[in-house]
Chains A and B, each alone.
Chain A
Amino acid sequence: MQGTCPRHEHVSRRSLLKGTLATASGASVLNWGGLFQSQAIAEAAKRKKKHCILLWLNGGCSQFETFDMKIGRSTGGMFRDISTNLPGARVCELMPAISQRMDKLTVIRSMRTSQIDHPGGIYLMHTGYARAANVRFPEMGAIIAKYCGSPEADLPDFVKISSQGNAGAGFLGPRYQPFSLGRDGNLPPFSTSQLTPEKESRRHSLRDFIEEQFARTHKADPARMHREAYDRARRLQNVRHVFDTDDEWAKYGDKYGNTKFGRRCMIARRLVEEGVSFVEVGQSGYDTHGDNFTGHKSLVPTMDRAWSALLDDLEERGLLQDTLVVWMGEIGRTPRINNRSGRDHYVRSWSTALAGGGVKGGLVYGESDQDGIDVKDNPVTEGDFFGTIYKALGVDPETENYSGVRPVPLAPFGHKVVTDILA
């Protein structure tokens, strides 16, 4: 797959020097800086200025109540399907807005993944890997932050808004750890200084002095990371206004549906507009073992409106072509409806969706069988899915980072990029 390496992925003289210097400084020993292959790819990816927004449906949204309805079958449930602006494709009646934006979406109806419980599924669908005792895999957000982010930027590269990932930056280290906003998308309380600017400045000067003294005798990475973390926190103060979204919400609240999830989506768009490479937005409550239908009826319309507004907003601002919007949860839900009017966990056949930069729009990929029990055509594993996302963002999924001395590709060994859905 790497045999036909495109020009931009070749190691440039500058990146070679940078990589060598980084290695010489010991940064790669713990692999928190990456090796030069990784650095070069990061530089190439950064030049493309790609962004990614992950809409995370925590608990596992039902494929039967969204994109893979089985009307008339015993597994079908209580909702009806509606036509879309993509000829032949039908979606759940709970998604009238998305139904008219199917031309922008690539829906994958043939996900087949390996982790059926929540912690395992959340880890898997954030990292592409199952949990392992000896490797701390990084989340997709950390990887995108590394390869598409800007180290010089004042804003964090990887932002989470009320979301659930449980892996963090893993072996990529604290530099790529997510910066989490509150439930309303506000800055966390700890990010606000209680001191006057003057006192704050004096305190920073003092800390810098002490850190510098310490660094002369302590070359270890943790000390450097500590300094960087403080530096980034200080730089964040320069861009606090980005997180003050009240005025914008007053203007766009209706469009996004006047819900908290809608506001989170609008903030995600704003952050992307300001250069953040990866934003994850969470919506909780999809674990509908009981009352699946009322549960989805209360959640999906909110999501439908916010997601649609996000796509429109990105497009109107010319950002959609460079922003990949990923829609997924950690699991799907069972075809069988249980005696609680609910659906349980299911990973043998379920759905995800992609839109925007790097993928085709107006495509339904894969198919489940008539009852939604198994994948009928074109199964997509977690590895395939992550590989495809990285590829769409201009990052080679076979790029290796090191966990200790072990090379770890961005997408798991054996994955297959689903080239049919790439633009």
Chain B
Amino acid sequence: MEINEPTHVWQLSFDGDWPTSVAFLGNGRKIAAGNRQGQIYVWNLPETPPAEDADGEGKEKTKSETPPDFAPIRRLDGHTNGVTGLIATADGKTLISASLDRTVRLWDVEAKPTSTEEVVLDTKRREIAARRKSKEEKEKIIGAPGVQVEVVKSSHRLEGHGEWVKALGLSADGHRLISGDDACWTVVWDLATRKEICRWHGYDRVWVSSAALSPDGKTAFTAEFAGSRSSFDRPAAQAKLWNADDGTMKLDLLKVWTPKVKDKDRIDSYGYAQTWGKLMKRGLVCAAFSPDGKLLAVGQGGETDTGKVHLIDTKTGEIVRTVSGHRYGACDVKFSADGKYILSSGRDTTVRICQVDDGKEVAALGKARGGQFKDWMHGIAISPDQKWVAAADIAGIVHLWQLSPDSTDEAAG
């Protein structure tokens, strides 16, 4: 991954409920994003952004102006409640989504559409454009026709969960999928056959807050967390490595991190929560294995003072380094393909890029926005060619940054 003055290139409108997740489909031009209403849209972006402003008035684009918008081409219909995660296979042909509707769905992104529909996803942009205009002009801008999108239905539905599915991961070899739900069930799937390989139930009455598979799909990580059940009993959070072939536990990371705590004291109690809370904050809500499988990155989420990202040695379970930090909590974490960088998004409206070796932050994409509490930059994705980063912004926007403008110029040339 080459990072050289990242540029904010696209700002795609996705009005409605919060965009939560993004995924690149094969290259840096095709992107999917899902939101809390359960909608998933697909954009196919041109090689270079249009020179003109999005409203077509022909103004010269300056650095201070908002990056251009672009309309989606497809809508993927099927989920009936919020999308919590999106992952695409390396070839970009299959998109996998997890949802609060208790399902994991697979989508053939190139499938023949079942219909077309007109949609309006840029209501906020229209409202801004209509400000200080005459009544007639306002009506014209607000009531302008939307865009036609092709509607595609999901190709398969994986029904192994009875609760919200908030954790989703794919092995780098693309063979295995992992999903975790709020009934604390984790399932490892064979992606080709769509059959369960194994499943396990975690600590009682907590939720699987994040899950990831090692590049070869043999090792799984899960984090478990729940809010307090009542005033003074807090179910213990968990962080474990598992054998993804049979669902047996390999390593209890919390025991590694807190060696002084005796087993008898690892109970649902406020006291023990003070201990694990320092490491897990309000749950480890995101996780990713490094490309060589030697490191695991986990992000502290929930609303907390600063959500850090721990880098963990997958052999010993020790925390090697703690990097980055998102005020009020992290949301997502990804490794670059060369394993040199760790990218994280969070509740401070930023995507932060840090060096794995020394934890030094080399770039922060986005700008804090909001009042005392900032808007979230939710899910993030890195394009397979490692040149683009996308992030789902809760303000109804999908952002795309080009990490190194020079390399795009070469590609465009």
Q: Which residues of chain A have a CB within 8 Å of any CB of chain B?
A: 74, 78, 80, 162, 183, 259-261, 282-285, 290-291, 294-295, 297-299, 302, 338-341
Pick from A183, A284, A339: contact of B373, CB under 8 Å = A339
Decide if B115 is an interface residue (CB 8 Å cutoff): no
Cα distance A290–B375 when bound, in Å?
Answer: 12
Q: Tell me, rounded to whole Å, the shortest Cβ–Cβ distance linking B207 to chain A.
A: 8
CB distance from A258 to the nearest CB of B (A): 9
> In chain A, what residue has the closest Cβ to B163?
A297
In this assembly, does B226 line the interface, its C-beta being within 8 Å of a C-beta of chain A?
yes
Residue numbers in B under 8 Å from A261 (CB-CB): 229-231
Q: Does B109 contact A (CB under 8 A)?
A: no
Chain B contact surface mostly: loop
B82 within 8 A of A: yes
Bound Cα distance from A419 to B303, whole angstroms: 44
A259-B233, A339-B394 given; A290·B373 CB < 8 A = yes
Q: For A282, what are the chain B residues with a Cβ–Cβ distance below 8 Å?
A: 231
Residue B302 lies at the interface, judged by CB distance under 8 Å to chain A: yes
Residue B100 at the chain A interface, CB threshold 8 Å: yes
Can you spell out 8 A-B residue pairs with CB atoms less than 8 angstroms apart? A80-B81, A284-B230, A284-B231, A290-B303, A291-B302, A302-B230, A338-B373, A339-B370
Chain A, residue nearest B166 (CB): A294
Q: Is the CB of A259 within 8 A of B230?
A: yes
| B154-183 interface with A by 8 A CB criterion | 182
Residues on A with beta carbons closer than 8 Å to the beta carbon of B371: 339
Residue of B nearest to A295 (CB): B227
9 nearest CB pairs, A to B: A298-B227, A290-B303, A284-B231, A261-B230, A260-B230, A340-B373, A339-B375, A302-B229, A183-B232
What is the CB-to-nearest-CB distance from B305 to chain A, in angstroms, rounded to a whole number?
Answer: 12
Residues from chain B with Cβ under 8 Å of A285 in the complex: 227-228, 230-231
Cβ contact within 8 Å between A299 and B227: yes
Complex Cα spacing A302 to B232, Å: 13
What A residues does B376 contact at CB under 8 A?
Answer: 339, 341
- Residues 280 to 339 of chain B near chain A (Cβ within 8 Å): 282, 302-303, 328
Distance between B74 CB and nearest chain A CB, rounded to angstroms: 23
Q: How distant is the Cα of A197 from the Cα of B302 in the complex, in angstroms?
A: 52
4 more A-B residue pairs beyond the given contacts A162-B231, A291-B282, A291-B303, with a C-beta to C-beta distance below 8 A: A260-B231, A285-B227, A294-B302, A299-B229
Which chain A residue has the least Cβ–Cβ distance from B80? Answer: A80
A336 → B minimal CB distance (Å)? 13
Q: Is B374 an interface residue (CB 8 A)?
A: yes
Q: In the assembled complex, which residues on chain B have CB atoms less than 8 Å from the CB atom of A78?
A: 36, 81-82, 100
- Nearest neighbor of A290 in chain B, beta-carbon distance: B303
Closest to B235 in A: A298
Q: Which residue of A lies closest to B82 (CB)?
A: A78
A346 CB, min distance to chain B CBs, angstroms: 18
Say how far B43's CB is from chain A's closest CB, in angstroms: 24
A340 close to B303 (CB less than 8 A): yes
Residues of chain B with a CB closer than 8 A to A340's CB: 303, 328, 347, 373
Residues 357 to 413 of chain B near chain A (Cβ within 8 Å): 370-371, 373-376, 394
The answer on a CB contact under 8 Å between B227 and A283 is no
Q: How far apart are A365's CB and chain B's nearest CB, in angstroms?
A: 29
**In the complex, chain B residues 232-261 whose Cβ is within 8 Å of any chain A Cβ:** 232-233
Q: Which of A80, A162, A298 has most B Cβ within 10 Å? A: A298
Assess whether A283 is in contact with B373, with CB atoms less than 8 Å apart.
Answer: no
Partner pick for B230 among A290, A291, A299, CB 8 A cutoff: A299
Q: Hey, which chain A residues are within 8 Å of B282, CB to CB? A: 291
A262 vs B61: C-alpha distance in the bound complex, in angstroms? 62
Q: Mark B138-155, 1 if CB is under 8 A from A, else 0.
A: 000000000000000000
Distance (whole angstroms) from the CB of A82 to the closest CB of chain B: 13
* B81 near A339: Cβ-Cβ < 8 Å: no
Would A298 and B229 be within 8 Å (CB), given that A78-B100, A80-B81 are in contact?
Answer: yes
Complex CA distance for A302 and B100, rounded to whole angstroms: 20
Residue of B nearest to A74 (CB): B17
Residues of B within 8 A of A291 (CB): 227, 282, 302-303
* CB contact between B228 and one of A183, A298, A339 (< 8 Å): that residue: A298
Once the chains are docked, how many angstroms separate the CA of A291 from the CA of B283? 12
The chain A residue sitting closest to B347, CB to CB, is: A340
**A297, B231: Cβ atoms under 8 Å?**
no
The answer to whether B229 touches A259, judged by C-beta atoms less than 8 angstroms apart, is yes
Q: What distance in Å separates the Cβ of A300 from its nearest Cβ neighbour in chain B?
A: 11
Q: Find the residue from B228, B303, B374 having the highest chain A CB count within 10 A.
A: B303
Least CB distance from B12 to A in Å reads: 19
Q: Which residue of B has the minimal Cβ distance to A258? A: B205
Interchain CB contact under 8 A, B229 and A294: no
Distance in angstroms between the alpha carbons of A164 and B370 in the assembled complex:
33
**A291–B81 Cα gap in the complex (Å)?**
17
Q: How far, in whole Å, are A298 and B232 apart by their CA atoms in the complex?
A: 13
What separation, in Å, do the CA atoms of A14 and B82 have in the docked complex? Answer: 66
**Distance, CA A341 to CA B232, complexed state (A):** 24
Give the docked Cα–Cα distance between A193 and B114 (Å).
78
> Would you call B232 and A260 a contact (CB within 8 A)?
yes
- Collect the chain A residues with CB atoms within 8 Å of residue B370's CB: 339
By a CB distance below 8 angstroms, the chain B residues around A260 are: 229-233
Q: Are A297 and B374 in contact (CB under 8 A)?
A: no
Closest residue of chain A to B394, judged by CB?
A339
**A290-B303, A339-B374, A340-B303 known; A183+B227 contact, CB < 8 A:** no
Q: A294 near B36 (CB under 8 angstroms)?
A: no
The chain B residue sitting closest to A263, CB to CB, is B230
Contacts of A295 in B (CB 8 A): 227
- Complex Cα gap A291–B228 (Å): 12
Q: Which residues of B contact A162 (CB under 8 A)?
A: 231-232
- B226: chain A residues within 8 A (beta carbon): 298
In the complex, which residues of chain A have a beta carbon less than 8 angstroms from the beta carbon of B375? 339
Question: Which of B17, B18, B231, B347 has the most chain A CB atoms inside 10 A of its CB?
Answer: B231
Name the residue of chain B whose CB is nearest to the CB of A306: B230
Most A Cβ at <10 Å: residue of B18, B182, B230, B302: B230
Query: Considering only CB atoms, which chain A residue lies closest to B84 in the complex?
Result: A78
Residue of B nearest to A182 (CB): B232
- For the complex, give the distance between the alpha carbons of A284 and B226 in Å: 15
Q: How far is the CB of B83 from chain A (nearest CB, A)?
A: 11
For residue B314, give the distance in angstroms from its CB to the closest CB of chain A: 28
Within the complex, what minimum Cβ distance (angstroms) separates B350 from chain A?
14
Contacts of B231 in A (CB 8 A): 162, 183, 260-261, 282-285
When distances are taken between beta carbons in the complex, the residues of chain B under 8 Å from A339 are: 370-371, 373-376, 394
With the chains together, A151 CA to B332 CA distance in Å? Answer: 61
A100 to B49, CA, bound (A): 56
CA of A290 to CA of B182 in the docked complex: distance in angstroms?
Answer: 19
Within the assembled complex, what's the spacing in Å between the Cα atoms of A167 and B336? 58
Instruction: For residue B233, give the distance in angstroms from its CB to the closest CB of chain A.
Output: 5
Which residues of chain B are within 8 angstroms of A299 by Cβ–Cβ distance? 227-230
Q: Distance (Å) between the CB of B55 and the closest chain A CB?
A: 26
Complex alpha-carbon distance, A285 and B226, angstroms? 13
Q: Give, as a whole number of angstroms, the nearest-CB distance from B64 to chain A.
A: 24
Whole-angstrom distance between the Cβ of A61 and the nearest chain B Cβ: 13
Q: Point out the residues of chain B lying under 8 angstroms from A294, CB to CB.
A: 227, 302
Query: B227 to chain A: which residues have CB within 8 Å?
Result: 285, 291, 294-295, 297-299
Q: In whole angstroms, what is the CA distance A261 to B230 when docked?
A: 6
Question: Closest approach, in angstroms, between the C-beta of B194 and any C-beta of chain A?
Answer: 25
**In chain B, what residue has the closest Cβ to A283?**
B230
How many Å lie between the Cα of A339 and that of B81 in the bound state? 19
CA distance A340 to B378 in the complex (A): 12
